[in-house]
Amino acid sequence: MSLVLDAAAQDLLFREARTANTFTDEPVTDEQVQAIYDLVKFGPTAFNQSPLRVVLVRSAEGRERLVQHMAEGNRPKTATAPLVAILAADNEFHEELPALLPHFPQAKDVFFSERPVRESAAGLNAALQAAYFIIGVRAAGLAAGPMTGYDAAGIQKEFLDGDHTPLMVVNIGKPGEDAWFPRSPRLSYDEVVKTV
């Protein structure tokens, strides 16, 4: 009763949304991915930075190379998902800050002149953007299968720019047969929230 989002949308985004482990053959188009990005780009980040980078692996050759870098148990789903996206954090995101934060362009130099600070900020804020992306996939009526079980150094070397750090690989598509593992429990409100 406290939520203003309608119940069907709550189910689509959270209650009935699951992490898919199998997929149908139905393609995922660039138009769908663009619609997802154009929605979730409005999710908040610190200083309005935008460190998320996305590599869509569409070619058979690229898919084959990527599968080799996945952990054994993840290979079949990455091999068969209609679309696979590599999500990464750009550690040089500060270059875009003056354009993204026009009311405070000095933030680039005041806060992000040091690489370790940028890597930390990029990791946190790109992870936030990755979470928004997963919810966006669900908003498109698709299922996402995020994975971090992979050889990060291999993916970084083969698919990403030198300044980009892999965050996760996401299988995307309509769920196939036996797509779900049993739903695991979540912590309750009282276990997570305290009031001081």
Ligand X SMILES: Cc1cc2nc3c(=O)[nH]c(=O)nc-3n(C[C@H](O)[C@H](O)[C@H](O)COP(=O)(O)O)c2cc1C
If the CB atoms of residues 96 and 119 are measured against ligand X, the closer one turns out to be 119
If the CB atoms of residues 107 and 130 are measured against ligand X, the closer one turns out to be 130
If the CB atoms of residues 112 and 159 are measured against ligand X, the closer one turns out to be 159
- In angstroms, give the least distance from the CB of 17 to ligand X: 7
Residue 106: φ, ψ to 5°: -70, -15
Six token digits for residue 150? 């992979």
- In angstroms, give the least distance from the CB of 82 to ligand X: 17
- In angstroms, give the least distance from the CB of 78 to ligand X: 10
If the CB atoms of residues 13 and 100 are measured against ligand X, the closer one turns out to be 13
Closest CB to ligand X: residue number: 149
Q: Look-up: residue for tokens 């138009």?
A: 31
Return residues touching ligand X (CB under 6 A). Answer: 18-19, 74, 146-149, 168, 180, 183-184
* Residues 61 and 162 sit within 8 Å (Cβ to Cβ): no
- In angstroms, give the least distance from the CB of 146 to ligand X: 4
**β strands within the chain, DSSP E:** 52-57, 83-90, 143-147, 164-173
- In angstroms, give the least distance from the CB of 192 to ligand X: 16
- In angstroms, give the least distance from the CB of 34 to ligand X: 23
| Beta-bridge mates of residue 146 | 170
Residue 140: partners with Cβ closer than 8 Å, 6 or more residues away: 32, 35, 36
Q: What is the b/e burial string over 140-154, where b = at least 16 CB atoms within 10 angstroms of the residue's CB?
A: bebbbbbbeebebee
If the CB atoms of residues 20 and 107 are measured against ligand X, the closer one turns out to be 20
If the CB atoms of residues 28 and 169 are measured against ligand X, the closer one turns out to be 169
Q: How far apart are the C-alpha atoms of 24 and 179, rounded to whole Å?
A: 10
